[in-house]
Structure 1
Amino acid sequence: MGSEPTPELLAQATTTAAAEDRACAAAVEPGDPCLAELGEAGLIERLAGFAPPGQFGNDAALVQPGPDEVLVVSTDVLVENNHFSDTTTPPFSVGWRAAAANLSDLAAMGCTRVHGLTIALQAPGTTPWGWVEQAYRGLAKALEPWGGIILGGDCAGAAQRSLAITALGGVVAQRLIRREGARAGDWLVATGPHGLSGLGLALLLGRGDGSGPLDPGLRQRAIDAHRYPRPRLDVPLLLQRSQPAETPWQVAGTDSSDGLGRALELICDAAGLGARLDQPLPLPPGLASLEEGKRWCLWGGEDFELVLALCPAWARALLAADCRCRLLGRLVSEPGLLMLEADGSHTPIRELGAPHRHFESS
């Protein structure tokens, strides 16, 4: 992965991404050629500038796994008017989010090395080169802290724009993270707060919260959280460093791309267990007072944190190692995913919302 990024550097990367996005948008030339004018060869020639010299010169890319390394492969697709639109997402952010979604999947499997990404671009022939250039700048910027490269890809004409990204990472086989394997008594830990991205999307769509005017700072943080999520590829190394002596590597987990609630359901379902969320929800500052705060926290999605099930000793060590991590509760043998309320009652988390349905008709 190269030198390990610090939390400060990752935060700075997100801040500079927003600034670079605005700069890219301002730099689009009205006379930019469209893709039909460039043709496939012209487009590939320009896209090659985002990869190391010679990387696009063959029919396929070569990836060399390290010793004892398992190659981890993940694919995500972003489709116009489903995952992004010109109203909500500038092209730089489209690229950033496409990379972040895949990198988050690598983190969820325990990867400590990123080999790179392949990109399949589809777009109408009328698409300006400037839109594609900005999207690839966003991809490269999101990838930059983790040391991977753009390995190659493909391009084709289509009625609407889409980016299909395949990410390749590496992890030592003995340190894989899977959804299955959690045990009753394990503690549930989220690697950070949840809900800002859901709020950000609602604001971009003009839906608001229903709680009145928002603090401008909270509004901007929410929009940035949606447009420039940070995949938690630092967490696998944090887990290794916080692993107590004589404790075997037994970690269950997934990322929260489809929502914190859905991540918890996946871990519980894989283990045949239930959960009791007896700790406060991991709400970021400012969200607790909002009418929809709990729903966004559990079901807003696209916060791209990790949700982990660990033995209590390991969970304590991880919580001490990273102040962003939040204890959620514990796994139990009884069925049901219940949240403890202030009055001592328990509420099924599905009463507060539901996950995004990927094939729901609009």
Structure 2
Amino acid sequence: MSSSRGSLPRYIAVRTLLVIPMMWVLLTMVFILLRVAPGDPVTAAAGGKLSADEIARRQAALGLDQPLFQQYLDYLGDVVRFRFGNAISDGTPVTTLIRDHGGATLTLTIGAFIFAVGVGVPLGRWAGRHRDTIIDAPIRLLGIVVYAAPVFWMGILLILLIGNLWPSWPTSGIASPQAIFEVPTHTHILLVDAAIDGTYFWDVLQHHLLPCFVLGLLLAGVIVRLVRINVIQTMQADYVEAARARGISERVVVRDHAFRNALVPVVTVIGLQVALTLSGAVLTENTFNWPGLGTDLVDYVIARDYVAVQGLVTFFALIVVIVSVVVDVINALIDPRVRY
């Protein structure tokens, strides 16, 4: 019988409570880093086109005339209420941006993860099982190349390649103009809305495949190398040798004994790669003219709109923390030894 100390509900409760100090540290870092940037945010966002009175009025409206500690408390209070402020440059609420454009980033990220896991895990497992063979060498090389190649360079390269080989295949945008305007909005996720409506689904899916493939390559390189090395290590463990001694076939040994134990660090790293995937999504969205939050973030950085940048970065930080908790729970389900 397992003790209460190692019980899954207790582990989930403790891990969830740890989110509070983690989020506090992240939010504090975001607040400080954006406040130490040189220049006045209102003047920078307006491009010097406003009078001194208008600048003062806008600063007061944003609470920038308050003491720094009061700004900090207001910022934390807004985040707790899921209010991320309004952009200085165009007045758009950040929550509206998240609602309207978050679906595009979500589908891009999920599609990339599906491709990366679907390709990276089997290739890494295969390479680990056939270590230092003619099968292992090209897989290792592939993992290194796709991880080292900049995602925007890979995107441009594939756009040129696909554009020449299959001119009819879409290489830019989230969908054709007809689909964007004619597909009814149900969920603010265009691929899901097209599937619900039953029209333009293939058109939308075609536009999704290439960006998801490019972003998925970035993560697949990490997964291939990690799965390979962990399979190699577990294949040398005593319990694997004991399974072989009992006459169990090598295929079953790899599948039931080595591979499952090799997954624990892999799941952890895949969860940690969410931040890498989100940063890669920023570059991927700009490469493929993808109307997601990454594109919005770049536009507001160029506009020096620190309120919108702060809101979007805070939202990304929340996503990373939530995924971190989910990954820890999955790890506890796979391997009870990680529970408190």
Report the TM-score when normalising by structure 2.
Answer: 0.25
Structure with the largest fraction of strand: 1
- Bigger helix share: 2
Structure whose alpha-carbon radius of gyration is higher: 2
TM-score by length of 1: 0.23
